[in-house]
């Protein structure tokens, strides 16, 4: 509630990570737009669960659902799934909040936002997340802001922010965040994709 995010460790067992990661990478390579991946440096597939269910056995893990239900409600709905693979050398992205708070989306909650959680975003770490491989950039506490850089908030969406940080975590962990939290794609400076 205070910082707008946490990392839940070890949801995907260590013995399963390599298989799940390889399965997701193989499906993403088939279903992503090669042109988009080339231009953005990110392999991205929306509606990913319709192509691949490798993560499905872990979606209802109580370590994930219990805190989300405590914040939102026991009647949860998964509204969106995507695969995102930061390729080596991908550029830094712009600060934004996720749907329904991203003001660039056709359907969105208009700013100023009430200071109540309405949507949760989860990022599943199939590779370890680090500053070197593009662990997602976040601004802790920014979920309390009534707007975000997609909504003419006076913050340059492409500039570093004074309190930004990279999320780090081991493969098999999950970044859980209030969807209002400002975050951005970080550059992957390694030779390996960050899945």
- Render the chain in DSSP notation, one character per residue: --SSEEEE--SS-HHHHHHHHHHHHHHHHHHS-HHHHHHHSEEEEETGGGT--TTGGGTT-HHHHHHHHHHS-SS------EEEEE-TTPPP---B--TTS-TTSSS-PPSSPPSS---EEEEE-SS-B-TTTTPPEE-TTGGGSS--GGG--S--TTS--TT-EE--B-TT-EEEEETTS-EEPPP--SSS-B-
pLDDT of residue 17: 98
pLDDT per residue of the chain (195 residues) written in tens, 0 to 9: 899 999 999 999 999 999 999 999 999 999 988 777 777 888 889 999 999 999 999 999 999 999 999 999 888 899 999 999 999 999 999 999 999 999 999 999 999 999 999 999 999 999 999 999 999 999 999 999 999 999 989 999 999 999 999 999 999 999 999 999 999 999 999 999 999
Note the pLDDT of residue 181. Answer: 98
Identify the pLDDT of residue 174.
98
pLDDT at 58: 96
């Amino acid at each position: 509630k205070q910082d707008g995010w946490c990392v839940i460790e070890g949801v995907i067992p260590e013995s399963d990570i390599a298989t799940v990661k390889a399965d997701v990478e193989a499906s993403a390579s088939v279903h992503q737009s090669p042109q988009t991946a080339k231009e953005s440096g990110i392999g991205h597939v929306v509606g990913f669960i319709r192509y691949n269910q490798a993560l499905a056995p872990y979606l209802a893990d109580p370590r994930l659902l219990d805190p989300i239900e405590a914040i939102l409600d026991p009647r949860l709905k998964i509204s969106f799934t995507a695969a995102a693979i930061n390729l080596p050398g991908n550029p830094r992205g712009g600060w934004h909040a996720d749907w329904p708070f991203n003001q660039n989306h056709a359907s969105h909650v208009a700013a100023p936002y009430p200071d109540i959680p309405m949507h949760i975003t989860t990022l599943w770490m199939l590779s370890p997340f680090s500053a070197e491989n593009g662990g997602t950039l976040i601004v802790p506490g920014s979920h309390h802001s009534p707007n975000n850089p997609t909504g003419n908030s006076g913050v340059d969406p492409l500039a570093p922010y004074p309190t930004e940080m990279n999320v780090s975590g081991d493969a098999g962990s999950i970044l859980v965040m209030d969807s209002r939290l400002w975050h951005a794609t970080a550059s992957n400076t390694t030779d390996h994709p960050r899945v």
